Amino acid sequence: MGVPRIYPVILSGGSGSRLWPLSREDFPKQLQALATEKTLLQETALRLKGGPVSVAAPIIVCNEAHRFIVAEQLRAIGVEPKAVIIEPVGRNTAPAIAVAAQVIAREDPNGVMLSMASDHIVRKPEAHRAGLVPALAAASGGRLVSIGITPTGPDPRFGYIKRGAPIGDTGAHAIARFVEKPSVEVATGFLRDGGYAWNASIFMFPVGVFLDELARFEPAIVAGCRAALDKGQSDLFFTRLDADTFAKVPSRSVDHAVMEKTDKAAVVPVDMGWSDVGSWSALHAEHDQDNAGNTLIGDVVAIDSAETYVRSEKQLTTVLGVKNLAVVVTPDAVLIADKARDQDVKLIVDRLKSDKRVEATQQARTYRPWGWFQTMDEGYRFKVKRLVVKPGAKLSLQKHWHRSEHWVVVTGAAEVTCGKKTFVLHENESTFIPAGTVHRLANPGRVELHMIEVQSGEYVGEDDIVRLVDDYGRGGGTPAPRRVKAAKAKGKTRRKAGAVPSARRTARRGRTRRRGR
């Protein structure tokens, strides 16, 4: 039958909330360049190139909000995915892997999938590629293989896998047992006894065997994923699962659904310099440090400080006489945390969500298929944005009921549609778009278009948008009537009273959802 083909499956649905405020649901850590000039997703997609076994183009599983960013990042490194599967809702790793396995099985029933997370770091990719050889040998014999990590210490953050008997001369071992995040004392005993690996959730499965075993233990997952795939649609180059059907699929991790139950489980331990980058301390360990153990990224000055990670994405940041801290500055939020507590950053995210703060999930910079925009300032009846439009890209043909816009070109050229007129603006030129006017912005040039947009009107929320034509298949969008009506009512009250909005009210308005366009 020959050597089965390996199909990489990259799971990119995580939110990475423990690296807040840099990583958020709208722009999580896998989409960011944290350790090299490439993003974690890009590094993952390139990791298997040049190895001893040949692999197919990757299959990406991601969510709706990230689909265009994922596609653009892969295009930027010359990787054309076999498929980009859109999860309408997260249902954990077992359903995500099951959908990808069914996509592969329909084309190649004898194929072997290699499932891995998109947000991990591997410092020794050649070791990872070499580890695929014994894993493939075991998978070819019908085994469900976990590629484990040779532990570097008794870390209680990870699950552990105990090796059992060797499987022939493949280099793989049967799995004796799984241990879920033991204490430091127990983990220390594991390392002393030997024969344990960290569970990094990297798996190599023969797709037919995996689907059979999953159907044996969790039949509703297999049936639900198949139905969601059958009822789904192709949209541009995306495969969309049927939302209602997929939402009913049981949420299970692949470990709990299959690996801890099957008698076909195997492990291949590999020393690949792996990190899940699951905290600021973990990211600190991946960067160069000065003589005092500090990592300083951005416009940062540190005096008499030690073992501290400081990252500034915006203004000058200084630290004095501090130790063992994580200090992270973004355009709209600042985190200062004891590194001993950095596993608890999610508590801050949870608090922000309960307070309905958009900073919990959204960044100041919002990415779109045409480029990105960032709110620079906002207040009562106005908002100032910076827009960057990629060469050849265009925004939707749209209109706004409650706001006017003034556009100023900083660099590049802008093709503007305003009503029945279409014209081109160059650097230092501007135009005005009255409220209610159908308009569109496009970049006809070969370099990025940078613009400043000033919005003014009775309501400047991002949901005041009506899309008439859109090249990216996005919905029409309409303003939220109640919110607009409430905003208008508040405005009238203040005008009658001659009041100036308080700082708290202005800040509260500033937390409107950064959507639209």
**pLDDT for position 10:** 98
pLDDT at 208 over 80: yes
Residue 493 has what pLDDT?
A: 39
Mean pLDDT of the 474-503 span: 47
- Range 154-178 average pLDDT: 95
% of the chain surpassing 90 pLDDT: 84
pLDDT at 152 over 90: yes
In this predicted structure, the answer to whether residue 479 has a pLDDT above a threshold of 70 is no
pLDDT at 289 over 50: yes
CB 343 within 8 A of CB 276: no
What pLDDT is recorded for position 3?
79
119, pLDDT greater than 70 = yes
Give residue 462's pLDDT band: very low, low, confident or very high (50, 70, 90). confident
- Residues constituting the chain: 517
119 vs 237 pLDDT, higher one:
119
pLDDT in tens, 359-404: 999 998 988 999 999 999 999 999 999 999 999 999 999 999 999 9
pLDDT of residue 15: 81
**For position 414, what pLDDT does the model report?**
98
pLDDT the model gives residue 495: 40
* More reliable by pLDDT, 21 or 472: 21
Asked whether the beta carbons of 266 and 144 are under 8 A apart, the reply is yes
Closest by alpha carbon to 39, among 119, 115, 117, 116? 119
Q: What is the mean pLDDT of residues 238-245?
A: 96
Residue 172 DSSP class: -
Whether residue 92 has pLDDT greater than 90: yes
pLDDT band at 476 (very low <50, low <70, confident <90, very high): low
pLDDT at residue 252, as a whole number? 97
Write out pLDDT tens, residues 295-348: 999 999 999 999 999 999 989 999 999 999 999 999 999 999 999 999 999 999
Give one DSSP letter per residue of 344-405, joined into a string. GHHHHHHHHHHTT-GGGT--SEEEETTEEEEEEEEETTEEEEEEEE-TT-BPPEEE-SSEEE
Range 126-135 average pLDDT: 96
pTM of the predicted model, to two decimals?
A: 0.87
Q: From residue 85, how far is each of 27, 250, 438 by CA, in Å?
A: 18, 18, 34
Place 233 in a pLDDT band, splitting at 50, 70 and 90. Answer: very high
List pLDDT tens digits, range 413-424: 999 999 999 999
Over residues 141-152, mean pLDDT: 96
516 vs 263, which has greater pLDDT?
Answer: 263
Distance CA 181, CA 115 (A): 21
pLDDT, average across residues 206-233: 98
Give start and end residues of each alpha helix (H) in 165-319. Answer: 184-193, 207-217, 219-230, 243-247, 254, 280-285
Question: Residue 492: which pLDDT band, with cuts at 50, 70 and 90?
Answer: very low
Structural element, H or E, at residue 98: helix 93-107
pLDDT for residue 502: 41
Can you say how many angstroms the Cα of residue 353 is from the centroid of all Cα atoms in its chain? Answer: 18
Q: Quote the tokens at residue 37.
A: 């000039």
Q: Tell me the mean pLDDT in the region 216-235.
A: 96
Q: What is the predicted pLDDT for the residue at 473? A: 79
Residue 101's pLDDT is 98
Q: What is the mean pLDDT of residues 261-286?
A: 96
Q: Are 323 and 306 in contact (CB under 8 A)?
A: yes
Structure confidence at residue 510 as a pLDDT band (50, 70, 90): very low
Could you tell me the CA-to-CA distances from 379 to 335, 455, 488 in Å, in that order? 24, 10, 14
Q: Quick one: what percent of the chain has pLDDT higher than 70? A: 91
Say what the pLDDT of residue 507 is: 42
Let me know: does 302 contact 326? Beta carbons within 8 Å.
no
Using alpha carbons, select from 148, 106, 318, 121 the residue that is nearest to residue 232: 106
When pLDDT is averaged across residues 41-58 and rounded to a whole number, the result is: 93
Domains for the chain: give ranges and CATH numbers: 6-275 (3.90.550.10), 280-353 (no CATH), 364-509 (2.60.120.10)
